[in-house]
A = this chain, B = another copy of it.
Amino acid sequence: MGNLHETLGINDLKSKNTLWKALLAEFLANVLLNFFGCASCVSATGKPTSFVLIALTFGLVIFILVQTLGHVSGAHINPAVTAGMMSVGNISIVKGILYIIVQCLGSLAGSSVLKALTPEPLHSTGLGNTQLQDDFTPVQGFGVEFFLGFVLVLVVCGVCDPNRPEAKPAAALAIGMAVGVGHLATVDFTGSSMNPARSFGSALIANDWDDHWVYWVGPVLGGIAAALIYKHAFSAPSLGPLK
């Protein structure tokens, strides 16, 4: 019984103080992700934004949030990351589900605030909603988003490996730049969501659910695949007990 409770994480709920702080951190981080990330997609000048600008915004906002809030919640900020962590037992089932719920609520709040703080004529292009480029089939979109979730969670696992202290100083930067690389390479293919919560918030505000499943199934399965491969093939040997 104790073991089952542990896997499900019901015991986690008892340390309420820490849990609420972690949920607040995830919520707030997703607010800022969708506010700043999607603001980069919204151009107020009449000219389209460059993809480099969008990619740097998403990559750097993840870098600064992980660097700032990593100690509170682990700074997942993304259901694909949380799913990957759940698949290898780094976070309990119950806590992981709570994380995913507040991530979605945070992204929704961030997109809502963006809508409120921008003039209505700017809303017509979807406020950063992720969509498949013409000619891409949903299966191709799924494949692209699978790889996006895969590379992100592979990096998260590698730089957060407790037996790799040498990877710590630039860990948050690497996680952010995994998001940056994904956007640079594939923002023109699928909008490079990499993150179901981020797409959920945008989709609800834009009320556009075309191919929305792609942005959930792709990153989540990619993230789980990466976490399992990292754990079984690449995790660093134990450094022994730390002082």
Contacts and interface: CB of A to CB of B under 8 A. Distances in A.
Interface of A: 21, 24-25, 28, 32, 35-37, 39-40, 43-45, 49-53, 55-57, 59-61, 63-64, 67-72, 113, 116-119, 121-122, 133, 135-137, 140, 143-144, 147, 151, 154-155, 157-159, 164, 166-174, 177-178, 180-182, 184-186, 188-189, 229, 233-234, 236
Given A24-B233, A68-B155, 7 more contacts: A32-B147, A36-B181, A39-B185, A50-B51, A61-B181, A67-B155, A119-B140
State the copy count for this chain.
4
Contact of A40 (B68, B121, B185, B233): B185
Please classify the interface of chain A as helix (H, G, I), strand (E, B), loop, or mixed, using the class held by over half of its residues: helix
Contacts of A137: 119
A174 B67 contact: yes
Given A53-B51, A53-B55, A56-B52, A178 B117 contact: no
